[in-house]
Amino acid sequence: MILLTHERQWRGGETVVAFGMFDGVHEGHAQLMRKANELAALYDLKSVVYTFSSHPMATYAPDRVPPQLETRSEKIRSIAQLGIDAAVLRPFDRAYAAQSPEEFVQAFVSALHPKHVVIGFNYSFGKMGAGKAADMRRFGEQYGFETHVVDEVQIGGLPVSSTRVRAAVAQGNMEEAARLLGRPYAICGVIQRGKQLGSRLDFPTANLLWPKKKAIPPKGVYAARAYVDEAWYIAAVNVGTHPTAPGGPPTIEANLLDYDGGALYDRHMRLLLCSFVRSEKKFDSLEQLRAEVMKNREQVRAYFERDF
């Protein structure tokens, strides 16, 4: 997938463009992108996703920006996995936000040469979000593209939304988050050197730093899948209180159940949090902690041996 930071960087000819914030690429967003790919294949065009590199709220009210469901790199990965040809991750600033709806349309038309535009039913654009779906249709007639509006996507009788995904993550309902996202909630990063407590317990862990601004599930142990060194493992992952910064981002300690290799420091690891096992606990001795770790390992193994 081609990655651009401005629509004017596009050199690939005529396109189908899917627009949206795509805050955590969930099943509703995926529906837009699948529609863009469908039209691109039908008319021999390139599919382009047009989104932002940061949440628009960060420009006006940084303290009100909702927790991220995906980091920038995770968002790019999710878009690419849907088969999109190119993504524009446009910086959002006050000058950009001041464009009228028609100025916004003129800019992407001159750069991306769209023949088709795909938007959600509640998409808005231009200054103060003044442009709506009906306006995009009208501009399409004027500037030579057809507008396709994707209806609301529902799961479990309720609309799929980033707000709903965040609520599921905050509740530790990782199965619900996965249903809405179309995949398990993920954390990615480079493995860090920890305090070696896991090694003292004979259950070494691969530790990650919690990505800044990312939505945090409840503290505790999770059944997870870990991808590291081009292999998948099942893992018992502890999302815990940081010992030196109790109010800050949590620690992430992953015990890979069937890994028998050496230290994994400085390697990239991707964790998929599949199910909440238990809440965070305190222990009076290493023996109590070791017994609990063994119990959690068996619970995680049993979870993945279930017949889903």
pLDDT at residue 64, rounded to an integer: 87
Q: Is the pLDDT of residue 193 over 60?
A: yes
- 193 within 8 A of 228, measured Cβ to Cβ: no
Which DSSP state fits 200? Answer: H
The rounded percent of the chain whose pLDDT value lies above 90 is: 76
Distance CA 258, CA 226 (A): 11
Cα separation, 167 vs 183, in Å, equals 16
Q: Does domain 2-158 have CATH number 1.10.1240.10?
A: no
Pick 178 or 65 by higher pLDDT.
Answer: 178
Give yes or no for residue 251 having a pLDDT over 80: yes
pLDDT at 225: 98
pLDDT in tens, 25-50: 999 999 999 999 999 999 999 999 99
Which pLDDT value is given to residue 201?
58
What is the helix, strand, coil percentage profile of the chain, to 5?
35, 30, 35
Residue length of the chain? 308
Q: Mention the CATH class of domain 184-305.
A: mainly beta
Residue 242 has pLDDT above 90, yes or no: no
Asked whether residue 308 carries a pLDDT value surpassing 70, the answer given is no
Q: Are 269 and 226 in contact (CB under 8 A)?
A: yes
pLDDT bin (cut points 50, 70, 90) of residue 243 is low
Average pLDDT over residues 5-31: 96
Q: In 3D, which of 184, 219, 221 has the Cα closest to residue 205?
A: 221
Model pTM?
0.92
pLDDT at 259 over 70: yes
Q: What tokens appear for 284 in the block?
A: 């009076």
Nearest to 181 by CA among 47, 76, 78, 85: 78
129, 133, 300 from 187: Cα distances, Å: 32, 34, 18
Average pLDDT over all residues of the chain = 92
Structural domain boundaries in the chain: 2-158, 184-305
CA distance 306 to 308: 6
- Terminal-residue alpha carbon distance, the chain: 33
Predicted pLDDT at 271: 98
Whether 2-158 and 184-305 share one fold: the answer is: no
Per the CB < 8 A criterion, the answer to whether 249 and 209 are in contact is yes
pLDDT at 35: 99
